[in-house]
Chains A and B, each alone.
Chain A
Amino acid sequence: MIRVENVSHWFGAFRALTDVTLEVPSNEIFGFIGPNGAGKTTTIRMMATLLEPDVGRVLVQGIDVVEHPDEVRKVLGFMPDSFGVYDRITVDEYLEFFAAAHGIVLGQRRRTIEAVIELTELGAVRDRLVQALSKGMKQRLAIARTLLHDPKVLILDEPANGLDPRARIEMRELIEELRRLGKTVMLSSHILTELSDMCTSVAILERGRVVASGSVDTIGRGLRPERGVKIRLLAPPEGVDGLLAKAPNVLSVERDPDGAYAMQYQGGDEALADIVDFAVRERLRIVRVEPDQNDLERIFLEVTKGELQ
């Protein structure tokens, strides 16, 4: 869906990107991660036809962004990290303006706007001036704008930036809804927990280079094969840690100060299911199973060096 091939770019003497190569598969939510200044926005702006790579090429749905920017813009929706909205017009007028700008014919414009308003749940504020909207609503409005021409690919640069928790949850739901609509969504974010819940694949960028790329599971397993899980038991019997250590695929068991048993095991979800099954068979009364959620955070910390950039 999106291919970035050996892209390098300079700003004056500063080399912003070095031989960046990555692929965003179709109908996925792809996370683009990296510290500040890693080159995420530069790469994203190239995908969005706003910047020409000095070397290499970028293809969106097989179309070269430099050679056919107009064609790319027809299949791409882009929401930049900091964007402006026209203040003295209403939400409805704003969407009408962009629908007309996209060349949606007059007869279909109202229908398209209604569909987009419904999808992004902006109906309640449609007659409000854009300047009166909350940050979260403005983000929704920006996404609504990117959806007007029914693009196949959506690039959202820091979509949850500056949103309160409720607005973040709503944004995440909206993004997942968009994927269900058949769109390929590329996200860049600093909030790794947000991305780990949503993204099926990621690319990690550091100092203008891709340091890891692929599905979260594949990268995680490549870095460290073992996974962690915490199990809480009701009235654990004596020597339960030794018992748990006998469970299949378990590498180590430690009791946390909060009373949970932290286990390291090898394998994926099936191995975890076997461990739980083993515990039930041993009549251990499980009250909670907490697999390590932050695979992405761990991956990020392990693959990046954390140097100042």
Chain B
Amino acid sequence: MSDPNEPPDTSSPVPDPVPGPVPPPVPVPDSDRPGLAAASAPAPETPRVSHPDGPRRSRPSLAPQPVAAPSFVERLKNLVLAPLRDPNPILLKELRATFRTALFIRFLYLLTGVVAVSVLLGGAMIGEGNVPPAEVGRALFQIFFCLVLGVLCLVAPSYAATAVTTERETRTYESLVLSGMGAWRIVWGKFIAYFGSIVLIVVAIAPVIGVAFLFGGVSPGAVLVAFFWTLVILATAVSWGLAISARLDSTRISIVLSTVLFVPIAMMLTGIVTAFGDEARSEWGTPMDGPFWFAEAFLQRIDTADGWAALVILPGFVLGSTIWFFLASSVAGLRHPGEDRSTPLKQWAAFVSPASVVAGAIPLGLTYPAMPGITHVGIFMTVVAGLLGLFIGLTFANEPPLPPRARSTPSTIERLLSVIGPGAAGTTRFALVASMLPPVGVATVAVIARHFASPALMPGDDGDAALFVIGVGNALVTAAFTGLAIVFRLWSRNGVVARLLSLVTLATAILVPVLLSLVLQPNVFDYGNRLPPLMAVSPIGPLWSSILLSEHASFESVFLAFLGIAGYGAAALALWLGIEMHVARVRRADADRRAARTAHVAPAAVAASTGAP
């Protein structure tokens, strides 16, 4: 340690230090030599410290330099070009780290080699018989994309599952949080970095598909469409892995969980897509089957509304909203339990809930103008919308009673929106509306479609009543179980427990009436148009009733159905009011506790304990 009063060091190129209090750093004028400006700036001097490697130079200024305010055009230009000029720092950091890993490069070589060999071998085997070359080309096309998608559906979620857990395990996460980066910025940076790496793998493998063109039967457009949807599916896989990673501390558990859960879902969805391919082949006569049938089908139906609706808008909505959900869930997972975790998910739900009504109209539009078909498709779509509503409701079943203590000065819009949270009371209001909207909306759209299909309905046609029962019934069942899940959360203080309990209750409420009905009257389900009385209280009562109503149910059944629906409505209302009252009680208790604490913490007490004046 040098003595502040030691003689000045004349070897130093800067003025001699002067002991004494340090004035705050002053802005330093710009220099022609960027990077050295701060170091050579005439900043206020202080005593220099001795150093084994020689004397320090003048103290650099860390204070931000003044910058001239940009003009409106410059601001606009900066806004557009900002992602290119100054991309998300996590993107650059992650890509650098990834491409400097030998394992990644080896994996890239290995995968490209395996895919190339598999496609060539496949081509050789298929081409041995008297198979037309176009068939071979189409088969290679399917083999290539199934291989790429299959391997990367294993790799992408497990790779993304390390995104946040490694930060936590290597203790870099805290630095990231303290840097002031918001959770959205972190999640987005991680997402584009990990997805970017996956895209680069796909790009590296892409030339292998050229083999298919040697045989023909595949158009370049179909290849582009297949690549596009492959990347969208892989984006879903990456976002899923990221969502898992954001909620766990262990990389191993995160990798295992994300892969084990994603693979069966991906396989199931592949099966469904392939099945739709068979349907499309019979309806539209598309030339290709297999999981990637839609690539050629889209090109064939590119000039038709149903082609766009079934092959672009509907899958785009499903996959897009899934990616958004996983990203919002990641943001919630990154936030501390004391912070606002529900708002990102509310933004997602605020879009998905009404958009699902529009999406639900697509299958109805495809069915139009077959009126009986519309009713049945409407019932089916309303059931799907009810499940979505339940999912939305359960998503918000992890809200603490009170809003987070962290707060900034709220804007007018924020003050207005505070009616929907954060906090259990506001979030319950939002969750109830968002979960009820899809079934009610889809059922309403189905009713409108019915009336468009046949303005003069036949006497005795109960299709509208059936759609009303399923729409309102599913909405109220959803609302009741959403309320129940939130009550479970307030009671158990654990979101996972709350969701599990409410799902167990739901399963019990479905099974018990069925079993009891069978015990009391074994042939109860044989009466075609009559609703078994106990089924009226089941959560699937509205579905049962609507199917009966679409086939002319008895008055007794209609009455029972309405009674069951009213019961769920009353339960939802009671649960909601109970939540509101509970939260009001907790809020009062918290205010009392804070008031007591404020009275306890007197400044004098602090001064006395620290010796401060």
> Which residues from chain A sit less than 8 Å from chain B, CB to CB?
3, 5-6, 21-23, 25, 27, 48-50, 52, 55-57, 66-70, 73-74, 76, 78, 80, 82-89, 93, 96-98, 100-108, 110-116, 118-119, 121, 145, 147-150, 166, 169-170, 172-173, 176-177, 180-182, 197, 210, 213-215, 218
Q: Judge whether B97 and A22 touch: CB under 8 Å.
A: no
B37 to chain A, nearest CB (A): 6
A108 to chain B, nearest CB (A): 5
- Bits for B217-238, please: 1 = Cβ < 8 Å to A, else 0: 0000000000000000000000
Residues of A within 8 A of B59 (CB): 119, 177, 180-181
Q: Judge whether B405 and A67 touch: CB under 8 Å.
A: yes
**Which of B90, B172, B405, B609: most chain A CB closer than 10 A?**
B609
Stretch of B173-181, B351-359, B366-374 with 4 or more beta carbons under 8 angstroms from chain A: B173-181
List the B residue with the shortest CB-CB distance to A100: B89
List the A residue with the shortest CB-CB distance to B37: A111
List the A residue with the shortest CB-CB distance to B85: A106
List the A residue with the shortest CB-CB distance to B186: A101
Q: Judge whether A84 and B51 touch: CB under 8 Å.
A: no
Interface size, chain B (Cβ < 8 Å): 65
Q: Judge whether B49 and A115 touch: CB under 8 Å.
A: no
The answer to whether A111 and B405 touch (CB under 8 A), given A5-B601, A180-B22, is no
Q: Judge whether A213 and B180 touch: CB under 8 Å.
A: no
Residues of A within 8 A of B57 (CB): 118
Bound state CA distance, A89 and B62, in angstroms? 23
Residues B83-111 near A (CB distance < 8 A): 85-86, 89-90, 92-93, 96-97, 100-101
B588 at the A interface (CB under 8 A): no
B130 at the A interface (CB under 8 A): no
List the A residue with the shortest CB-CB distance to B86: A106
Can you report 22 A-B residue pairs in the complex whose CB atoms are below 8 A from each other? A5-B601, A21-B606, A48-B178, A73-B178, A74-B180, A86-B93, A88-B101, A89-B96, A97-B93, A105-B67, A112-B64, A115-B62, A118-B39, A118-B60, A148-B62, A149-B179, A166-B52, A176-B1, A177-B46, A180-B22, A180-B46, A213-B611
B415 at the A interface (CB under 8 A): no
Q: Judge whether A102 and B62 touch: CB under 8 Å.
A: no
Bound state CA distance, A194 and B75, in angstroms? 50
Q: Judge whether A182 and B24 touch: CB under 8 Å.
A: yes
| Interchain CB contact (< 8 A) of A23 among B96, B180, B610 | B610
Residues of B within 8 A of A68 (CB): 406-408
The answer to whether A115 and B174 touch (CB under 8 A), given A22-B610, A67-B406, is no
Q: A67-B405, A97-B89, A101-B179 are in contact. List 13 more A-B contacts (CB 8 A).
A: A50-B178, A52-B336, A52-B405, A55-B597, A68-B406, A82-B171, A83-B171, A86-B172, A96-B89, A107-B67, A148-B62, A169-B1, A214-B610
Residues of B within 8 A of A49 (CB): 178
- Bits for B567-609, please: 1 = Cβ < 8 Å to A, else 0: 0000000000000000000000000000001001100011001
Bound state CA distance, A102 and B605, in angstroms? 37
Residues of B within 8 A of A88 (CB): 96-97, 100-101
Q: Judge whether B60 and A116 touch: CB under 8 Å.
A: yes
Q: Judge whether A213 and B406 touch: CB under 8 Å.
A: no
Bound state CA distance, A73 and B336, in angstroms? 15
Q: Judge whether B407 and A67 touch: CB under 8 Å.
A: yes
Residues of A within 8 A of B605 (CB): 6, 21
Residues of A within 8 A of B1 (CB): 169, 172-173, 176, 197
Bound state CA distance, A102 and B167, in angstroms? 18
B34 at the A interface (CB under 8 A): yes
| Interchain CB contact (< 8 A) of A80 among B171, B176, B600 | B171
Q: Judge whether B174 and A83 touch: CB under 8 Å.
A: yes
Q: Judge whether B22 and A108 touch: CB under 8 Å.
A: no
Bound state CA distance, A177 and B47, in angstroms? 9
A272 to chain B, nearest CB (A): 18
B158 at the A interface (CB under 8 A): no
Bound state CA distance, A214 and B606, in angstroms? 12
List the B residue with the shortest CB-CB distance to A180: B46
List the A residue with the shortest CB-CB distance to B93: A97
Q: Judge whether B22 and A181 touch: CB under 8 Å.
A: yes
Q: Which 9 A-B pairs have the closest CB atoms?
A: A115-B60, A100-B89, A84-B170, A101-B179, A115-B38, A214-B611, A84-B171, A150-B62, A114-B35
Q: Judge whether B35 and A111 touch: CB under 8 Å.
A: yes
B32 to chain A, nearest CB (A): 12
A interface, by DSSP: helix, strand, loop or mixed? mixed
Q: Judge whether B175 and A145 touch: CB under 8 Å.
A: yes
The answer to whether A56 and B601 touch (CB under 8 A), given A70-B408, A83-B174, is yes
B256 at the A interface (CB under 8 A): no
Q: Judge whether B60 and A119 touch: CB under 8 Å.
A: yes
Bound state CA distance, A85 and B100, in angstroms? 16
B65 at the A interface (CB under 8 A): yes
Residues of A within 8 A of B23 (CB): 182
Q: Judge whether A114 and B178 touch: CB under 8 Å.
A: no
Residues of A within 8 A of B52 (CB): 166, 169-170
Residues of A within 8 A of B180 (CB): 70, 73-74, 101-103, 149
List the A residue with the shortest CB-CB distance to B179: A101
A31 to chain B, nearest CB (A): 14
- Bits for B52-68, please: 1 = Cβ < 8 Å to A, else 0: 11001101111111010
Residues of B within 8 A of A97 (CB): 89-90, 92-93
B132 at the A interface (CB under 8 A): no
Residues of B within 8 A of A182 (CB): 22-25
List the A residue with the shortest CB-CB distance to B51: A173
Q: Judge whether A69 and B53 touch: CB under 8 Å.
A: no
The answer to whether A112 and B609 touch (CB under 8 A), given A88-B97, A182-B25, is no
The answer to whether A170 and B51 touch (CB under 8 A), given A74-B180, A147-B62, is yes
B413 at the A interface (CB under 8 A): no
B2 to chain A, nearest CB (A): 8
A159 to chain B, nearest CB (A): 15
Q: Judge whether A215 and B611 touch: CB under 8 Å.
A: yes
Residues of A within 8 A of B22 (CB): 27, 180-182
